[in-house]
Amino acid sequence: MMQVTRELVVRWEDPLPGAQTLRTLSGIEAIRAVRDGRVPAPPIAMLMGFTIAEVDEGRVVFEGTPGEQHYNPNGAVHGGFALTLFDSALGCAIHTALPVGVGFTTTDVQVRFIRGMTKGTGPVRCEATVVHLGRSTAVAEGKLRDGTGRVLATGTTACAILRP
């Protein structure tokens, strides 16, 4: 059997100037700036192939298309693809509710996989919403769905709020 080598070229911009710009905006302004292309998407988004589709206060939707470049040795999309979508969407949902100068960092993420993904799954959407936003912690929850609306996974996160 002849092996066919595949190649994936990933291009991104230096993330530090964009990060500096985002720190001058409220959370919702920052996430919208990335969505709208006014600030370059972070390298992880380029590497994994996902984008921000929708942004509201306390809610975001990320979209991505799993491909064979995301496969694990079992011939299916690695759970890390979904986990990365969840970590990004859940954190960004929290970020949309934060004022200028206040940041966050993930303390934990829990994902429950319900259905597997392959390159045949097609585009997926991870919708995340804030459940709790306190002075020092925040919690968000989300669902990952395929193009027909079937739930592929559910997830939650807790984040530490970083105040100056």
Torsion on CA atoms 96, 43, 81, 143, rounded to nearest 10: 10
| CA atoms 57, 12, 7, 75: torsion sign | negative
Domain count, the chain: 1
pLDDT of amino acid 74: 94
Tell which residue, 39, 47, 46, 44, has the closest CA to residue 18: 39
The DSSP secondary-structure symbol of 137 reads: E
Domain assignment of residue 108, yes or no:
yes
Domain assignment of residue 9, yes or no:
no
Domain assignment of residue 7, yes or no:
no
Domain CATH code at residue 40: 3.10.129.10
Crossing angle (nearest 10°) for helices 79-95 and 27-35: 130
pLDDT tens-place string over residues 60-87:
999 999 999 999 999 999 999 999 999 9
Domain assignment of residue 143, yes or no:
yes
Provide the domain limits for residue 46: 15-162
Domain assignment of residue 4, yes or no:
no
Confidence (pTM): 0.95
